[in-house]
Amino acid sequence: MMMENRQKFYRIAYSYVKNEQEALEIVSDAMYKGLVHLKDLREMDYFITWMTRIIINTSLETLRKKSKLTQYEDYMAEVKVEETGQDQNLDLYHAIDMLDPDEKSYVILKYFEERTYREMSDILEMPQSTIKSKIYRSLEKMKSYLEGGNK
């Protein structure tokens, strides 16, 4: 099951660190942690949810260790924008980047990983109503940033 979902795990890790090598290391570390603690998983039906939580925690741990809240600015500096549509996408990614790591988690899980509120509740270990309000606040923050001229 781990190998089948390796790409999904990589995308999640990469969405945090924006660095291919670090994302691969995070996935490897998380898979190791998952194997070591597999005996702690009560129901195999929740394996993907459980591993997603390990990937997120390992990603955040990596960012904290390196005192990097984000590497997105470095990544964006290398991107050359040629079309207006790309400008809008870049603005959106900048708005996401302005969020703190927890807020980023809500947006990434909901809109990039297309998780349900129930799945997010299991992954983040918090009530669905709390997740909904946190997503709403995160989106409002992004909207404010986008309407403010990206300053």
* Per-residue pLDDT tens over the stretch 37-67: 888 888 888 888 889 989 988 988 888 776 5
Backbone angles phi, psi at 45, to 5 degrees: -60, -25
Question: Cβ–Cβ contacts within 10 Å for residue 129, how many?
Answer: 10
What pLDDT does 26 receive?
94
With 0.75 as the threshold, say if the pTM is over it.
Answer: no
Q: Where are the domains of the chain?
A: 1-69, 82-151
Cβ contact 95:151 at 8 Å: no
Mean pLDDT over 116-127 rounds to 90
* Per-residue pLDDT tens over the stretch 12-46: 999 888 889 999 999 999 999 988 888 888 888 88
Cβ contact 26:59 at 8 Å: yes
* Per-residue pLDDT tens over the stretch 75-107: 444 443 343 344 556 777 788 888 888 888 888
What CATH class is the domain 1-69? mainly alpha
Question: Cβ–Cβ contacts within 10 Å for residue 31, how many?
Answer: 19
In the chain, % of residues over pLDDT 70: 81
Domain 82-151 has CATH 1.10.10.10: yes
